[in-house]
Homo-oligomer: A and B are copies of this chain.
Amino acid sequence: MRDPIFYFMAEIRLKDIPTRAPKDWDKLQTKDKTEAIKTELQEMQNLLFAESKHSILIVIQGMDGSGKDGVIRNVFGCMNPQGVTVKSYKAPTAEELSHDFLWRIHHYAPAKGMIQVFNRSHYEDILVTRVHKWCDDQTAKQRMEAINDFEKLLQKHNRTHILKFYLHVSPEEQRSRLLERIKDPAKMWKYNENDLEEAKLWDVYMSVYEDCFNNCQEPPWTIVPSDQNWYKEFIIADALCNLLKDLDMQFPGLKK
Contact = CB atoms under 8 A, between A and B. Distances in A.
A97 to B, nearest CB: 8
A146 B152 contact: yes
Report, as a range, how many residues of chain A touch the other chain.
20 to 34
Contact of A100 (B98, B149, B158): B158
Contact of A106 (B95, B103, B143, B152): B103
Contacts of A152: 146, 149
Interface string A94-116: 01001111110011010111000
B146 A100 contact: no
A102 B101 CA distance: 15
Contacts of A160: 100
Given A106-B103, A106-B107, A107-B106, A98 B52 contact: yes
Contacts of A52: 98
Interface in A69-106: 95, 98-103, 106
A95 B107 CA distance: 12
A150 B103 CA distance: 11
Given A101-B157, A146-B153, 15 more contacts: A52-B98, A98-B111, A100-B154, A100-B157, A100-B158, A102-B106, A102-B153, A102-B157, A103-B106, A103-B107, A103-B158, A149-B149, A149-B150, A149-B152, A150-B153
Interface of A: 52, 95, 98-103, 106-107, 109, 111-113, 142-143, 146, 149-150, 152-154, 156-158, 160
